[in-house]
Structure 1
Amino acid sequence: MTRAHAAIGQTPYATQITVGPRQLVADEPEALGGKGAGFAPYDLLLSSLAACTAITLRMYADRKGWPLESLDIELSLTGAGEQRQIRRVLHPVGLSADQAARLADVAERTPVTLTLKSGIAITTSLA
């Protein structure tokens, strides 16, 4: 089971996030009232998708014995509400066109991709 803990005090909007033994800071940019001291929430969402994509595709290429030298992934979030969408661009180095196309196909089925595409139930309660 994956668990995270977030704590915010009175400093707008710096939030301490702990996941296991690791910590990071989330914040809003100054334009939105924060200090820009950490990643904004949507930055963290895109980071999760980027990491899952990179790791999954590296594992796939390794399992196939493909000569993937490197893989850069560009993500952008655009739109608002129901029109919001994520654009993902893969830049594999060292693969044939067919291998790169297969990686793009596999990217559509990474765990975080599938979670985002299908949605996920969220329940909220008070302690």
Structure 2
Amino acid sequence: MCKWHRLRSKTTKLLEASLASCTGITTLMYLNLKAWAVSEIHVNITTILNLDTQEKSLRKEIEIHGNIDKKQLAQILLVASKCPIHILLEKNITITSSISII
């Protein structure tokens, strides 16, 4: 594996970690607000590469340990999609770069 591929893998992992932590924090804040009995939250992010189109997508899996019904679970899933990183990644992003000598 070349050095560039290792670096790319690390940066992908950092992006996954950003989305996972943002989702976890947003979800935890909502659960605390609602005072719902949850003992653990686990968020796993997987980057998926379509070999035919070379398009990448992210899969977010959230595990809630606690006494939660289906209605509450649906509300939690909705709130989890409102974290700032999720919103940023879900939209088309334009990046404008500049460089200068000072």
TM range (shorter): 0.7 to 0.9
Shift of 1:105: 1.7
For structure 2, the residue ranges without an aligned partner over 5 or more in a row are: none
If each structure's helix is expressed as a fraction of its own residues, which one has the higher value?
Answer: 2
Alpha-carbon distance in structure 2 between the residues aligned to 1:32 and 1:89 = 30
SS at match of 2:96: coil
Match of 1:45 among 15, 39, 51: 15
Match of 2:2 among 32, 44, 62: 32
Shift of 1:96: 1.3
Q: Which residue is equivalent to 2:66?
A: 94
Structure 1 residue runs of 4+, over 4 Å off? none
Percent identity between matched residues is 26
Which one has more relative contact order, counting CA pairs under 8 Å at least 6 apart?
2
Q: Which residue is equivalent to 1:58?
A: 28
Q: Which residue is equivalent to 1:124?
A: 97
Shift of 1:41: 0.7
Q: TM-score, normalised by structure 2?
A: 0.80
Shift of 1:121: 2.7
Residues 1:104 and 2:74 aligned together: no
For structure 1, the residue ranges without an aligned partner over 5 or more in a row are: 1-30
Aligned length, in residue pairs: 95
